[in-house]
Chain A
Amino acid sequence: DTAVSQTPKYLVTQMGNDKSIKCEQNLGHDTMYWYKQDSKKFLKIMFSYNNKELIINETVPNRFSPKSPDKAHLNLHINSLELGDSAVYFCASSPGLNYGYTFGSGTRLTVV
């Protein structure tokens, strides 16, 4: 009955590979997000979707492509992985502006 679930929890892959991270929320929230947490633990927004529509795209390389098949799912596909993509990626959801956020447990991506 996890509210926001991400899979996989850990992902180790070689440079140049393509990988996906999945996120699902069962809270009925309209808005979903992807955040990246770097090695210094600093969090930064990547994408935001509201009801399957992209509303924020924060100067993320084109190799990153979010996909929202329905408002309960927001997946992140990454092409041609680079060493600098190594980070923890958090999915989150919210009922909307000025509501609290619920975060997934994170996906630790390591590119070797």
Chain B
Amino acid sequence: KNEVEQSPQNLTAQEGEFITINCSYSVGISALHWLQQHPGGGIVSLFMLSSGKKKHGRLIATINIQEKHSSLHITASHPRDSAVYICAVSGSGGANSKLTFGKGITLSVRP
């Protein structure tokens, strides 16, 4: 079982819909990251969270440390939001910590 699990694996939405992508992890972490990868493209860091909630434009990320769960919400979704969304966690091992990735969720937003 992967240390970082994401659900659902694939997601299709209609433009304008509110979208939620989930991430659960099973290890101690120092931070959780949400990353975005467009088809054939590079990886962009969206958020880094260690507690609470962060908002950037139409994107909101939340984390519940006790439940080892994070969600990424997209409000008023748009076709340009179509991408792979990857959850990753930084271990709590100090300087030797590394990012462990989920398998990513492929989001398609239809016009």
Q: Do A and B bind each other?
A: yes
Residues of chain A from 81 to 106 with CB closer than 8 A to chain B in the complex: 90, 92, 97-106
What's the dominant secondary structure at chain B's contact region? strand
Size category, A interface: 20 to 34
Which B residues lie within 8 Å of A99 (CB)?
48
Residues of chain A from 38 to 91 with CB closer than 8 A to chain B in the complex: 40-45, 48, 50, 55-56, 58, 90
Which B residues lie within 8 Å of A43 (CB)?
43, 86, 88, 99, 101
For the complex, give the distance between the alpha carbons of A103 and B35 in Å: 10
Size category, B interface: 20 to 34
Contact of A100 among B37, B45, B103 (CB under 8 A): B45
Known: A35-B99, A101-B45, A106-B43. 11 other contacts (CB 8 A): A33-B99, A42-B104, A43-B101, A44-B101, A48-B98, A90-B43, A92-B43, A98-B90, A100-B45, A101-B33, A102-B45
Interface set of B (CB-CB < 8 Å, partner A)? 30-31, 33, 35, 37, 41-45, 48, 50, 84, 86, 88, 90, 94-101, 103-104
Interface set of A (CB-CB < 8 Å, partner B)? 33, 35, 40-45, 48, 50, 55-56, 58, 90, 92, 97-106
